[in-house]
Structure 1
Amino acid sequence: MTNPQGTKTTGDTILIAYDGSEQSKAAIEYAGRFLSTTKAYILTVWEPIQRQTARAAGMSGMMQHEWKSECDNPAQDDPAYAEAVATCTQGVEFAHQNGFETEPFLVESATAVWSAIVDAAEELQVDLIVTGTRALSGWKSILQTSVSDSIIKHAGRPVLIVPPLNEEDE
């Protein structure tokens, strides 16, 4: 099998974007039910707390201070990193319960979440990206960019998007 970039692929490795939400859990469940592959990377994207704070201050119009670009030891210095590790670990365990041989993969987001997911898929040379979606509609869909739409547009590989579950689906 060859992917759109012309690289030979084995067809048996997927990347599942996991943020701890019900949508990401549904993505794991559906992938476990419908895909024959069992090799999966569980990807959690995280943003350093100082970047989150700077972005929030910028949106509020407050003056932004000079922020240290990276923590010396994110495992000890950044609560966002610790939360991402816990989330990814939860995703790995949940994916294992759904039949996957998993490997955790944490990525620091420098720009947009979708970009971090696409870059990770390229780095890991996965054959398929699996993700959930909030399925925004109405004004929210106009005002907010959809991560899943951006992944589809930029991934250069197949993407499985699992929509939110309805109450009847559970």
Structure 2
Amino acid sequence: MSSDYTGDTVLIAYDGSEQAKGAIRYAGRFLSTKNAYILTAWEPIHRQAARAAGVGGIATADVSAVDDAEGEDPAYTEAVAICREGVAQARDHGFNTEPYLVESSTAVWTAIVDAATELDVSMILVGTRALSGWRSLMQTSTADSIVKHAGRPVFIVPPMEGDD
């Protein structure tokens, strides 16, 4: 995807969470670059169902029954809405934005790192839940994986006071 952006560009990972919204607010205050791609990664509903069945061992219903009238995947429809929300949030905080929707076939962090490489962005911005204690030992965070594999600067914004 080409853009008419000049200068540095940031890739903002946006999933609609309060942490992602907080990261955009914080970045709008402190980053000098104002060109941004708003990335929303999504997973097709049939893959979500298969993953859930594999993890929980529960049989799932025919997922074609949940597709909307146009045959569009409801997960895709939701991802488009989330990405549009992220674009609006970023614009409200001074960014020149372009949406970037990516289908995730593996881990979300992989989709983010691959998109950053494809778009050749200067930096990746992510919010994090900042897990601690036992939860942090049991779960590798998306932000941690991005830092380890991105090969470029990563701006991680932890939950701020008032974020849920």
Q: TM-score, normalised by structure 2?
A: 0.87
For 1:162, the equivalent position in structure 2 comes to 157
How far apart, in 1, do the equivalents of 2:7 and 2:123 lie? 8
Q: Deviation per CA, 1:48-92: give whole Å up to 9, x if none.
A: 000000000000124689x99xx9xxx842000000000000000
2:27 alignment partner, one of 28, 31, 52: 31
For 2:134, the equivalent position in structure 1 comes to 139
Superposition misfits of 4+ residues, deviation over 4 angstroms: none
Structure 2, unaligned runs of 5 or more: 1-5
Q: TM-score, normalised by structure 1?
A: 0.84
Q: Within 5 A, what are the aligned runs for 1:146-157?
A: 146-157=141-152
Contact 1:11 1:127 in 2 (8 A): no
Q: Within 5 A, what are the aligned runs for 1:46-85?
A: 46-62=42-58, 76-85=71-80
The alignment partner of 1:122 has SS state of helix
- Displacement after TM superposition at 1:31 (Å): 1.0
Q: What amino acid sits opposite 1:115 in the alignment?
A: T
For 1:108, the equivalent position in structure 2 comes to 103
RMSD: 2.3
How far apart, in 1, do the equivalents of 2:79 and 2:139 lie? 23
Q: Deviation per CA, 1:97-149: give whole Å up to 9, x if none.
A: 00000000001011000010000000000000000000011111111110000
- Displacement after TM superposition at 1:166 (Å): 1.9
Structure 1, unaligned runs of 5 or more: 1-9
Contact 1:45 1:84 in 2 (8 A): yes
